[in-house]
Amino acid sequence: MAPRALVLLGCGWIARRHAAAARRLGIPVLAASRDLARARAFARAHGAADAFGSYAEAVRDPRACGAVVCTPHDRHLDDALLALDAGLHVLVEKPIARTLAEADRMIAAARVAERVLLVGENFHFMPAFRHVRAQIAAGRLGALRELHLVARGFRRHAGWRLGVAAAGGGTLLDGGIHYVHNLRAWGGEVRRVFALRPPQTVELGGEDAVDVLVELAGGVVGLLANSLGARGVPRFQWSTVTGVDGTCFADNRGRWVLLRGVDGARIRLFVRDTRGHEAMLKAFESAIATGASPEMDGVAGRRDLAVVLAAYRSIAERRAVDVPC
């Protein structure tokens, strides 16, 4: 039987999400940590088939077919290269990398190794957000006009996210990139970006809040407000997509989508795999089995990163910035 196990590189927060999704799908996982005791504790708690105190040792295990890179942003390139070098397919957590040059190296290495590279932007796989995409594609909103995405809350981080080099950016590169992806997935490619940030209040390696105005293909306008420094804002928030024939409202946590248009209102509820982690692992397995590039491949992850970096340039240069194709 072909090896099917996934090596989780790093036993932190997101690794737990991947382990839980893999368990529900019956995919064996191997836990790899820089610390063997931590890997063993993770394996016990989350049902991993084995534990390793070294990433390099884990990726060489004959049971492994893929690696899930669950490490800080400055580790993504090296950890992905380590796995590719061992012949594994790679699911790298978002953002693909800190810079376009790092992303290009990763994409090229996967291509040369003829291995799948999937970027773990789970919003792409969330059933509610895919439903929004389907409504737009079916023309239920008519020609698009505006997208308003609001993801604001209050959160203090610790550890590597406080370091500029390790994080590579602030809230937009970290959680905000998911919403950047939705701008692209729903509205088309982002052509131009103007971004501003308010004065910092939360300690972080980069900005704690950002407001981004974008021009999308065909003149559609997008607005993304993303913050970790918005005290008092409730978690109940939604994204709004407006076309000439109606508006779609999508719960940020993927539990419902409401469409209001010329034919009245329709709501759809989502209860299974609302965060899309299972769908993402299925897409990874399917790409490995078929050899076809996954939808959320390195190029797609790089496009999202390019928008974030253009927003950072816009903030620094206090002007609108074109996004490189």
Ligand X SMILES: NC(=O)c1ccc[n+]([C@@H]2O[C@H](COP(=O)([O-])OP(=O)(O)OC[C@H]3O[C@@H](n4cnc5c(N)ncnc54)[C@H](OP(=O)(O)O)[C@@H]3O)[C@@H](O)[C@H]2O)c1
Q: What is the smallest separation between the CB atom of 35 and ligand X, expressed in angstroms?
A: 6
Q: Give the nearest distance from C-beta 168 to ligand X in angstroms.
A: 10
Task: Determine the straight-line distance between the first and last CA of the chain, rounded to whole angstroms.
Answer: 42
Report the run of H or E that residue 31 belongs to, with start and end.
strand 29-32
Contacting range for ligand X; rule: CB under 6 A; set: 7-15, 132-140, 292-300, 301-309:
7-15
- Tokens for 38, please give them: 């931590």
Q: Is residue 314 a contact residue for ligand X (CB under 6 A)? A: no
- Burial string for 170-199 (b: 16+ CB within 10 Å, else e) reads bbbbbbbbbbbbbbbbbbbebbebbbebee
Instruction: Decide: 85 and 60 in contact? Cβ < 8 Å.
Output: no
Any contact of residue 12 with ligand X (CB under 6 A)?
yes
**Shortest approach of ligand X to residue 71 CB, angstroms?**
4
Question: Site residues for ligand X, window 91-120 (CB under 6 A)?
Answer: 93-94, 120
Contacts of 320 (CB under 8 A, 6+ apart): 192, 193, 194, 314
Q: Which of the stretches 33-41, 58-66, 239-247, 250-258 binds ligand X when contact is defined by CB under 6 A? A: 33-41
- Site residues for ligand X, 161-190, by CB under 6 A, read 174
Shortest gap between Cβ of 184 and ligand X (angstroms)?
A: 16
Exactly one of 5, 6, 7, 14 binds ligand X (CB under 6 A); which one? 14
Instruction: Say what angle helices 100-113 and 76-85 make with each other, to 10 degrees.
Output: 10
Contact segment (CB under 6 A) with ligand X among 66-74, 145-153, 191-199, 295-303 equals 66-74
CB 268 within 8 Å of CB 155 = no
236 binds ligand X (CB under 6 A): no
Rounded CA-CA distance 166/94 in Å is 13
Residues found near ligand X in the complex (CB under 6 A): 10-14, 33-35, 38, 70-73, 75, 93-94, 120, 122, 159-160, 174
